[in-house]
A and B are shown apart, each in its own frame.
Chain A
């Protein structure tokens, strides 16, 4: 914001410009006495000036929690939830993935991270409140279009006359600059047209892991924070769902986070930026647990690591034609 946007009298603007203050926000960076020294404006006027600037910078007035609960607030403050198209999973997520914040889906390879994302891309089109399309940003490998078609066939019967694939925008990104361009330029355009309600980034890890070596950790941290805050603002301002997929790395030192064999990649810096984190994992059973054909059974789990509105909990899941489904605890015979 420029000084001229503040509608001040010209004398004051001159005084501020003399003190090399060109942007309105700089006024907030100085204490009252400091400003007085720099600009020679009387103390009363400085108080008024600061009040004026402060008012301009606050984008929302104060609401109380009851207003938010009764949805009497601007859209940005209302959270809506995106169902995962499976009631059992939705029940431990209390309705689904939360809008306006960053959600991370993490897990080892082959645990079903991409599956869950594809499922979300389809289910967002069925959403009652905010139906819309999805953007799938692919950084790791080719977009699994075959699998998507399989899922579309399964879900397409519930929404006849529409091609579910038409509303999923796929973007291949190979380096960070393209990603940044995509997030900062392309996405806002699509969002402004009201076309999309979900952004999936699969995965964030690949780019950050390969573009920085261990001597550049500080730079990487800085970059990660910048990028995460861009994403978060995007999510908040448009009240859309943003899902980031993250790989895992081996847990070398068991500090800070919960003890386990693997920890989500990109470290504490990235974790700090996440609001919700969901972990997918799988184990292979020993011989005693075999299915009918005599093959060793694989058990998959979905675990809520942290989220402000959820308790830590886990659920057994299975992967079928239609995607990931939760297994209700009472049907589990282990």
Chain B
């Protein structure tokens, strides 16, 4: 007993030593763990597109992870793994791609900001909608438009397909559009309406800027010829179509906008296997994200709405949510919800990386999507929200014609630049 007593009552120096030993042991253990894990965290080489025959030969000599190849030359690899030197060369070039490295090229955030400022978005011809989105529909991002039938999803798509083709002279993007139609609601007659109105509008702006009538390179025929139309009947055809999109884009460099109207339609029937649907949708999402960022094209999806029935029957009433579920909801960068309010079409920005949540109203005229005029605005208290942004507080008091002029594309020169 006394011995123990002695032990505990001794000066603290002994305890400190004990502590040190314990810490060292723990540290060693951690280091071992890190080493073990590092091996596990490395990417397995069978996830790379390597010829299976070669792969099996590599497995025999226990080369399974990416970091196993760190100090291999093609010559050494070919002799050790018993493969031809050409194969070894190919394997190494797949594993360690040169030029375009597997990691995205490094860019400073400032450069990205400059880049983003230089590329303007696609105007919607409704100023409050453009303001809500920051600067129209941005290129290189995925935008989703959801809404019940009859709210103007297709109209907005047609408008965008026309607006992308406004010449650079008056601040447009001079691009072309790919229109993937799954519902069969692409009516060329309506497109002609919108195109005609847009051409007139562009001529007007051009003449105000001192240009001569007819000297601007825009016409209805040109606009129509710049819209490439695909029609898909079911999801298999849609997948096939998306698969070919890559080749199509390399052949048509001018395409800056891809519209899918609607994404929901092919995926809402003939699906008994829900896990397949989820998988296909996420695969599609990834493909579109890749297409959007690599070619810097804007991708616009329309989505149907569906009623969410509460799981437990309760007082909570059912609500409207976009179709295709939670997994799909993550794909889009920007999400716009369209709805009716007091006989007024409204758009709400639900998700955006750089804008705050806003609501704005718009109307559909013969010429396409336009701002709501002042007189129609007064009876709606909510409309004030749309004009919170101080820059556009005057928008609600302008007349229809002024609006029409204003809603034209903003020349890039007007944009403020960060120096």
Q: A256-B305, A256-B320, A268-B305 are in contact. Are A69 and B239 (CB under 8 A)?
A: no
Of the candidates A54, A63, A308, the one whose C-beta lies within 8 Å of that of B229 is A63
The answer on a CB contact under 8 Å between A58 and B240 is yes
> Is the Cβ of B150 less than 8 Å from the Cβ of A277?
yes
For residue B366, CB closer than 8 A to chain A, the reply is yes
B243, CB-defined interface residue at 8 Å: yes
B237 in contact (CB, < 8 A) = yes
Q: Which of B188, B227, B268 contacts A225 (CB 8 A)?
A: B268
Asked whether A28 and B52 contact (CB < 8 A) given A225-B268, A255-B320, the answer is no
Quick one: which of A217, A236, A255 contacts B309, CB cutoff 8 A?
Answer: A217
Q: How many residues of B contact A (CB 8 A)?
A: 67
A23 nearest in chain B by CB position: B236
B233 adjacent to A256 (CB under 8 Å) = no
Question: Which residue of A has the minimal Cβ distance to B152?
Answer: A306
Stretch at the interface among B31-39, B178-186, B407-415: B178-186
Q: Does B231 contact A (CB under 8 A)?
A: yes
Which B residue's beta carbon lies closest to that of A43? Answer: B49
Restricting to A203-256, which residues have a CB under 8 Å from any CB of B? 217-218, 225-226, 228-229, 232-233, 235-236, 253, 255-256
A133 within 8 A of partner (CB): no
Task: Check A268 against B231 for contact (C-beta < 8 Å).
Answer: no
* B343 contacts the other chain (CB 8 A): yes
B283 within 8 A of A: yes
- Are B184 and A64 closer than 8 Å at their CB atoms? no
Interface-located stretch among A30-38, A134-142, A177-185: A30-38
Q: Is A19 an interface residue (CB 8 A)?
A: no
Does B159 sit within 8 A of A, measured CB to CB? no
Determine the chain B residues whose CB is within 8 A of the CB of A54 once the complex forms: 239-241, 243-244
Give residues of chain A (306-322) contacting chain B, Cβ–Cβ below 8 Å. Answer: 306, 308-309, 311-312
A233, B233: Cβ atoms closer than 8 Å: yes
CB distance from A334 to the nearest CB of B (A): 21
- Given the interface pairs A225-B268, A236-B233, A275-B184, the reply to whether A62 lies near B248 with Cβ below 8 Å is yes
Find A256's partner among B148, B183, B269, B364 (CB 8 Å cutoff): B148
Task: Write the chain A residue with the least CB distance to B226.
Answer: A64
Q: Is B41 an interface residue (CB 8 A)?
A: no
> In whole angstroms, what is the CA distance A328 to B382 when docked?
36
Enumerate chain B residues within 8 angstroms of A33, measured Cβ to Cβ: 47, 49
Shortest C-beta distance, B339 to chain A (Å), equals 7
| A225 CA / B188 CA spacing, docked (Å) | 26
A107 at the interface (CB under 8 A from B): no
In contact, B185 and A308 (Cβ under 8 angstroms): yes
How many Å from the CB of A201 to the closest CB on chain B? Answer: 18
Q: Are B187 and A309 in contact (CB under 8 A)?
A: yes
Q: Which of B229, B276, B342 contacts A62 (CB 8 A)?
A: B229
Q: Within 8 Å of chain B (Cβ to Cβ): is A332?
A: no
For residue B64, CB closer than 8 A to chain A, the reply is: no
Q: How far is the CA of A76 from the CA of B225 in the complex (A)?
A: 19
A40, B154: Cα distance in complex, Å: 43
Q: Please measure, in the bound complex, the distance between the C-alpha atom of A25 and the C-alpha atom of B280, giving whole angstroms.
A: 12
Tell me the chain B residues, 186-206 only, with Cβ under 8 Å from chain A. 186-192
Partner of A308, one of B50, B186, B243, B309: B186
Contacts of B84 in A (CB 8 A): none
13 further A-B contacts with Cβ under 8 Å, apart from A69-B191, A79-B189, A259-B342, are: A36-B52, A42-B52, A62-B228, A62-B229, A65-B188, A69-B188, A77-B231, A272-B305, A275-B183, A277-B150, A308-B185, A309-B187, A311-B366
List residues of chain A with CB under 8 Å of any chain B CB. 25, 28-29, 31-33, 36-37, 40-43, 50-51, 53-60, 62-66, 68-69, 76-77, 79, 94, 98, 100-101, 217-218, 225-226, 228-229, 232-233, 235-236, 253, 255-259, 267-269, 271-272, 274-275, 277, 305-306, 308-309, 311-312
Question: Nearest 5 CB-CB pairs, A to B?
Answer: A306-B150, A43-B49, A57-B240, A54-B240, A66-B224
